[in-house]
Amino acid sequence: MAVKVGAPGLTVTLFKLSAHDGNVATPYRGANQEIDLTPLLGDSGSVQVHKDIGQPAGGFVLTFADRGGGSERTDTISAIAEPMDVVEIRAARKPWEHVGKKLPLLMRGFVVSIDRSESIGRDGAPQRSVRIVGNDAGLLWLIHMFVTQVAYLDDVLIDIFKFQVANGMTVEMLPVSKFIESATENVMNVKTSKMSAISSKFIPPFNVDATVKEGMVSAWFVAQFQGQYWNLISMVADKPWNELFIEDSGDAGEETPTVVFRPSPFKDMDGKIIMQDGKDPGFVLIDDSEIVGLNMARSRNEVANVYDVPPDAGSLDVHLQVLIAQIANGGMTDFDHGNCSRELFGTTRMTVRTGLVNTEYAVLPSKLGPPGRSRGADEYQQWYIHRRDQLKKLCRDNVVWESGQISIRGNELIRPGKYIMISRGGGAIINEAYCTMVVHTLSPLQDWKTTMHLVRGNGFLLRKRQADPYFREGRRSPYSVGP
């Protein structure tokens, strides 16, 4: 029997962003420094990288056995790393495939905190460790905020559209993808350019991959906005119809943080993308020989058969009409569909607000003249009915979809926002599930494990459609033959 031996590659690099104020005693403080932290990990250090597309920022945790580094590094790493320094974590299961170039990027981010723990063991010897915690580029969307009072201090002409005026954005209604692009270019990339101007390392601007074609952003909806800039784009993202997250994209060494805004790629039971304009995000194939642990489950807790999509604050002038129209339309209920029938599951309601408005109109119905006001109101009502019907298609089969966790041997190709194909029994059964969260845990010279959270798994559906699935998927044991 063949024995697979892994020798994964790992590099952890710290980039100093700016010079420290005051007298500096160590050459590692200050600008223009690039420090390889990989040797400091040793055989007792660890690296953990966490990314969840449901959260604005991913995170990392670096753990070191605290020690000096010889004549050139006379102080602890806790005195070298500082908040807002940049950390790059790169790894590959087969590093020999990347000879002559950088390893694939697991995460690039900013240091948030550094802590040093010291204790005395029973033998009287000191025990010290250092932990560095940080977040990826999504952190910039969290630490930068719009505050009206600061806008006044900046001597900006402020009117009712305070946010747009202060940031140079249009006060017209915009297609939602255009709004995401405008917020990125006019707000966040201005912040990153100023950050690069005072640092020793270029901070790349955000790219935007916005492919959502349905929905407009009402200027009134964001006119009075205050708070973190992530909350601004998140409140118009219209989840669960769409997805909004940040990922690093590009070739190794040239990765750029990218704001991804796309229709939800969820599929129906026939394997077709449900959302209009939705695209298949691609997949990663995993053989069952790579699996360390797998736990999937189904539940009736997400079952619904009454659907309601009311307007959010951007369309309060048609709120009552929308409610009446949804009832009159007769499509609020889904009692007769087998996977959510009222006889089996009772009456359960799902209410999800939409912050977007009809794609075809540039103004609210109340702003139209009398001839167009009635027609405009009808069109707006149809938008919310359309959104409700999409929600119904996304959720009506929740009882058959599996969700859970899978742990495998470390794999740098795994990232949230892709489908995971799990080959069982030598390919006799290939299950599919959507990955929303990934955790890489690396212990140099010891282990690398990748854990994923999966949703919309079709394992149950495949078992119902195949003969003898228990035997077809295979059961590995000490007596199994094969690799």
For the chain, 483 residues long, give each residue's pLDDT as a single digit of tens.
344 556 789 999 999 885 555 444 444 445 557 889 998 888 789 999 999 999 999 999 999 988 765 444 567 888 888 999 999 999 999 999 988 889 999 999 999 999 999 888 777 777 888 999 999 999 999 998 876 555 544 444 344 445 555 555 555 678 999 989 988 998 899 888 888 777 656 788 999 999 999 998 876 666 667 788 899 899 899 999 999 999 999 888 889 999 999 999 999 999 999 998 999 999 999 999 999 999 999 999 999 999 999 887 555 555 556 666 666 677 889 999 999 999 999 999 999 998 888 877 655 555 555 555 555 567 778 888 899 999 999 999 999 999 999 999 999 999 999 999 999 888 888 999 999 999 999 998 789 999 999 999 999 998 888 888 787 777 654 444 444
3-state secondary structure of 116: strand
Of 106, 86, 137, 85, which Cα lies nearest the Cα of 9?
A: 106
Residue 427 φ then ψ, to 5°: 95, 0
Question: Tokens 């074609």 correspond to what residue?
Answer: 213
Q: How buried is residue 66: exposed, middle or buried, by Cβ count under 10 Å (0-12/13-18/19+)?
A: middle
Strand extents, DSSP E, 273-332: 283-287, 291-297, 306-308
Q: What is the pTM of this model?
A: 0.87
Q: How buried is residue 122: exposed, middle or buried, by Cβ count under 10 Å (0-12/13-18/19+)?
A: exposed
**Amino acid at position 210, single letter:** A
Of 432, 428, 426, which Cα lies nearest the Cα of 461?
A: 432
286 contacts 421 by C-beta, under 8 angstroms = yes
306 contacts 327 by C-beta, under 8 angstroms = no
d(CA 102, CA 220): 47
d(CA 378, CA 372): 10
Of 129, 444, 451, 127, which Cα lies nearest the Cα of 295?
A: 451
* β-strand pairing of 126-136 with 59-65: antiparallel
In the chain, the N- to C-terminal Cα span, in Å, equals: 6
Of 216, 223, 222, 257, which Cα lies nearest the Cα of 238?
A: 216
* β-strand pairing of 419-424 with 242-249: unpaired
DSSP state of 206: P
* β-strand pairing of 349-351 with 402-409: unpaired
